[in-house]
Copies of this chain bind each other. A is one copy, B any other.
Amino acid sequence: MNSVQYAVPMPRETLTREQIVQAAVTLLDEAGIDGLSMRKLGQRLGSAATAMYWHVGSKENLVSLACDRVWSEVGAHDPAELGWREAARRHARDTYETLRGHTWVIAATGAYFVYGHGMARVQDASYAIYEAAGFTGWDLDWAVNAASTFAGGAALSDASLDPVKQRGDTAAMREALAEAGEIAASYPRLRARLEQQAGVDEAVFVEEKFDFGLEIILDGLEARLRAR
A residues neighboring B (CB under 8 Å): 32-34, 58, 103-104, 106-117, 120-121, 123-124, 127-128, 131, 137-142, 145-146, 148-154, 156-157, 159-160, 162-164, 172-173, 176-177, 179-180, 183-184, 186-190, 193, 196-197, 208-209, 212-213, 215-221, 223-224
Contact = CB atoms under 8 A, between A and B. Distances in A.
A121 B209 CA distance: 21
Copies in the complex: 2
B141 A197 contact: yes
Nearest to A179: B115
A42 B200 CA distance: 45
23 contacts: A34-B111, A103-B110, A107-B110, A109-B159, A110-B160, A111-B111, A111-B163, A112-B163, A113-B173, A113-B180, A117-B183, A120-B186, A120-B187, A127-B189, A131-B189, A137-B196, A145-B209, A145-B212, A146-B213, A150-B213, A152-B153, A213-B217, A219-B219
